[in-house]
Structure 1
């Protein structure tokens, strides 16, 4: 079970997220939610969605310290040897620093000082536990030019920021990893929304990157249609849809895409995409 989504923190199940623009415009009109600034969004990112933290039962850092200890002692210790506890703690912290990045088993294993077999096993443990999610590339077999590695995302950004040792939301917002955390927040919200509505995100949620470093952050694919989605932590980013055309090589109907950012409302950018406010995502 994942931590609370932003909708669940507001005591709402929300509607199933779908990038069809007419659906989103209708939902925005119905919701009339108050705007949340980028500063407020990063406070949400830093806090995360663990129930005891969201309900002020316990202080954030105290909770996460206990959570990590309890998780390792009760769950992980059943699956790893006793002398692997410290290497595993180091491993999960190294993994947090790689959220929203491609997972390459050899690189991570070398950084953690473990063999690749152990690395794969520990990734599987974290994925099964709902700590991380592996976002797969879209149609990886179509070309040798397409990156075939999955991307790793933590499903609770509060836990991820704790493991990275960021002391507060202000420093998190201004740090070099701020873009990765914002992307992690968006992807985790979409995944939590899918789970809340008994949907399997593995069946429709992907990403695209090729060896020329051309990338689309999210591809929402269903029934012969592709909805490209870019994630930008700013407002009105420069040329946000310039990569969408790379998807035309697929024999799929490319739909108007989204640029999820910290804007205040849904607006058209051009014929290819609309801006979409992160603060209404999942509601």
Structure 2
């Protein structure tokens, strides 16, 4: 259906590591990608939400011994946390036999329980990879497709829905599943409506620096509780906490992270935005576009890149600062309007951080210089540039 750009990286990791964990929200495409690889490799696939597949692991040691030499895909593995200690033993036994090829592809919805169990039992034996929703290059990079992706978000079933109404219905159901099932399973004791108010408040504050006291006051919770649930949404890869760049440059800097609902389609569902026409007239349109572009640029960046924003009290600001693996710093300003000229504060901020390259991402299609070493370019072009470093 879609060629996921992460696939070559995943294939390479499977060739060099005993266990790889592919993490991401539900319905993001983890199982589809894993099944494609499983078919190619003759792998064994187990869905641990199915009673029959869980029963096969009643004697996990014996079952996994019978799969020696084959890749085993374990889906929704957070449903069987006791399995991790068995996986550790199997991996170590095979390593002693000189077999270091891929043994397990572990899929999970990035629950804290999954991360904790795997980090304790499989430390030094597993590598993690996040699968994000569809990005602009994966859907073709054309303006029409990018606009639809921005409006509907990157969950495949939302993006591919027959029309905007059905897409919105899917996203509303997705949110309800997390609120009524997944979050309570992870220990949430708050009423569903309180959690929904918190999530909706985050949507209204898209791209704003974290103000715990303001959030807590708006949803009627204490600050500690708000921080705990924010951390949970970040762990589930549903909310991004973008950290500030805070090197000592002798200026007063913003030090609170900026929060974004990561998928633009979920953001719009939380705000009741049904289509592109409504979105373009909504007060959140600028912040929505900013978050959408940030997520796409991060998805395109090479492994081991680092991501920050930069802001001084005097108004100098960079929306996204990418530090590439070779330590070059690329600064991005994100503009929704037709005029992509950056603010004076962007130029000052680039000087402050000693940016090696400066770009303005805007909805147009042309690439052209803006002066002072800055270029304007479309999102797809920016992603291609970032992906090649």
TM-score bracket, shorter-length normalisation? 0.7 to 0.9
**2:358 is the counterpart of 1:257:** yes
Distance 1:163 1:143, change over 3 A: farther
Paired residue for 1:272, among 364, 373, 379? Answer: 373
Match of 1:46 in 2: 151
TM-score calculated relative to the size of structure 2: 0.59
Residue 79 of structure 1, CA deviation: 3.1
- Offset, 1:209: 0.9
C-alpha deviations, 1:97-132, integer Å up to 9, x for none? 111111111111111111111111111111011101
Q: Distance in 1 between matches of 2:162 and 2:346?
A: 45
Q: CA RMSD in A?
A: 2.4
Residue 226 of structure 1 aligns with which residue? 329
What is the total number of aligned residue pairs between the two structures? 251
Matches for 1:38-187 after TM superposition, within 5 Å: 41-56=146-161, 59-139=166-246, 142-143=249-250, 145-187=252-294
Specify the SS of the correspondent of 2:360.
strand
TM-score by length of 1: 0.80
The residue number in structure 2 matching 1:15 is none
Aligned match of 1:14: none
What corresponds to 1:217 in structure 2?
A: 319
How far did residue 245 of structure 1 move? Answer: 2.4
Task: Report the CA distance shift for 1:281/1:78 in structure 2 as closer, same or farther (over 3 A).
Answer: same
User: SS state of the match for residue 99, structure 1?
Assistant: coil
Task: Tell me the residue number matched to 1:9.
Answer: 139
Whole-Å separation in 1 of the counterparts to 2:233 and 2:190? 18
SS of corresponding position for 1:274? strand
Partners in 2 of 1:67 and 1:108 — Cα distance?
23
Runs of 4+ in 1 over 6 A off after TM superposition: none
1:143: how far off?
4.7
Offset of residue 95 of structure 1: 0.7
Please list the CA deviations of residues 35-62 of structure 1 after superposition, one character each: whole Å capped at 9, or x if unmatched.
Answer: x26xx64432111111112233792122
Deviates more, 1:73-82 or 1:122-131: 73-82
Q: Which has the higher contact order (CA 8 A, sep 6+)?
A: 1
Cα displacement (A) at 1:76: 0.4
SS in 2 for 1:228: strand
1:246 is the counterpart of 2:349 = yes
- Which residue number in structure 1 is paired with residue 9 of structure 2? none
Tell me, what secondary structure is at the counterpart of 1:264?
coil
Return the alpha-carbon distance in structure 1 between the equivalents of residues 135 and 341 of structure 2. 29
Q: How many Å separate the matches in 1 of 2:367 and 2:260? A: 26
1:237 and 2:344 correspond: no
Q: Secondary structure at the match of 2:340?
A: coil
Q: By how many angstroms is 1:212 displaced?
A: 2.2
Deviates more, 1:166-175 or 1:232-241: 232-241
* CA distance in structure 2 between the aligned counterparts of 1:187 and 1:214, rounded to whole angstroms: 18
Contact between 1:241 and 1:273, CA under 8 Å: does it hold in 2?
A: no
